[in-house]
Amino acid sequence: MRFEGKVVIVTGADRGIGRSTVARFLEEGARVVAADLAPAAGLKEYERDARVAVALGDVSVRADAERIVATAVDRFGRLDVLVNNAGIMDRFLPVGEVTDELWHKVLAVNLTGPMYLARAAMPHLVASKGVVVNVTSIGGLFGARGGAAYAASKHGLIGLTKNIAAAYAKDGVRAVAIAPGGVNTGISIGGEPSARGYEALNRTLPAAVRMAEPAEIAAVIAFAASGEASFVSGEVLVADGGWTAY
Distance (Å, rounded) from C-alpha 146 to C-alpha 163? 24
Q: Which residues fall within 8 angstroms of residue 71, CB to CB, at 6 or more apart?
A: 33, 35, 53, 55
Report the candidate in 22, 57, 60 with the shortest Cα–Cα distance to residue 42: 22
* Secondary structure of residue 36 in the 3-state scheme: strand
The beta strand positions in the chain, using DSSP E, are 7-11, 31-36, 52-56, 81-84, 131-135, 174-180, 235-239
Distance between CA atoms of residues 167 and 239, nearest Å: 26
Tell me whether residue 198 is one of the annotated catalytic residues: no
Query: Annotated catalytic residue: which of 150, 168, 198, 246?
Result: 150
Q: How far apart are CA 243 and CA 245, in angstroms?
A: 5
- Rounded to 5 degrees, what are φ and ψ at 206? -80, 135
User: d(Cα 245, Cα 231) in Å, to the nearest integer?
Assistant: 25
Which residues are registered as beta bridge partners of 179? 238
Q: Cite the active site residues.
A: 150
